[in-house]
Amino acid sequence: MYSALVIGASAGGLKAITQILAQLPSSYPLPIAIVQHRLADHTQLLVELLNANTELTVVEPYSGQKLQPGFVYIAPGGYHLLIERTQQFSLSVDSPVCYAIPSIDVLFESAAVSYAQQLIGLVLTGANSDGSIGLQRIREYGGLCIVQDPDSAEEASMPKAALKLTKADHTLPLEKIADLLLQLASSGT
C-alpha cells in the first residue's frame, strides 16, 4: 500500500504538473510533495496557479507540518524540502544540489528513508539531472519509480538521466501518468 507521492520537475514542469494534478480528485488518498525548480520569488504565484487547476489543496509546507491526504505540498523557493522519519516536513537552506534549491534529489532521498516501499517517486520534464540520484534511492528503499517518457517531455534531459541511472517501474507519456497514479492509489500495488 502506498502512503505518499513525490514529484520532481524543472523546465516545462509547470505544464506537466498542472496537467497531472487537474486529473486527480479531491479524494486522492496520497499526500503529494513536489519540487519544481523556479526562482525564490515566484513561489506564491505557483501555489495560486496550481490551486486554480486542481480539486486538491496546494500549499507551501512549513517545518514540522505533517503530510496529509488531499494536499499538494510545493517546496518553497530558496529552500530544500525534506521529509523526516516522522513523516513531517523540514526546510533547509543548505547549498544547492545539481545547481538547484530546492533540489529534487534532496526531497526524494529523504522521502525514501521515511516511506521506503510505501513511496511513489515521479520524475518529469527538466533540463538537468536532478532527481536521478533521488529516484535511485527510492528504488533502493523498495519504492515505486515512474519516469515521464522523454519523448513526451518538453525537456528530455531529466527523464533521460533518471532512466540511465535507475530502472523505472513505469515510463509513460505525460497524458497517461495521472491514470496510473489513480490506479496505484486505489489498488495499493
pLDDT tens digits for range 64-88: 999 999 999 999 988 899 999 999 9
> How many H helices and E strands in the chain?
6, 9
> What does the domain layout of the chain look like in residue ranges?
4-187
Alpha carbon distance 116, 110 (integer Å):
10
pLDDT tens digits for range 119-176: 999 999 999 999 999 999 999 999 999 999 999 999 999 999 999 999 999 999 999 9
Nearest to 185 by CA among 23, 13, 76: 23
Q: How confident is the model at residue 188 (pLDDT cuts 50, 70, 90)?
A: low
Q: How far is CA 10 from CA 35, 50, 69, 77, 83, in A?
A: 8, 15, 24, 13, 20
Which range (58-67, 85-94, 97-106, 113-122) has the least confidence?
97-106
Beta strands in the chain (DSSP E): 4-9, 32-36, 57-59, 71-74, 80-83, 89-92, 119-123, 144-148, 170-172
Residue 67 phi/psi, 5-degree rounding, is: -70, 135
CATH of 4-187, one of 3.40.50.10490, 3.40.50.180, 1.10.600.10, 2.170.150.20: 3.40.50.180
Residue 95 has pLDDT above 90, yes or no: no
Beta strand pairing status for 89-92 and 80-83? antiparallel
Known catalytic residues? Answer: 10, 37, 130
| 3 state SS of 94 | coil
Q: What's the DSSP call for residue 75?
A: P
pTM check: above 0.85: yes
Averaged pLDDT of the chain: 93
pLDDT tens digits for range 8-28: 999 999 999 999 999 999 999
Q: How far is CA 17 from CA 111, 167, 178, in A?
A: 19, 22, 10
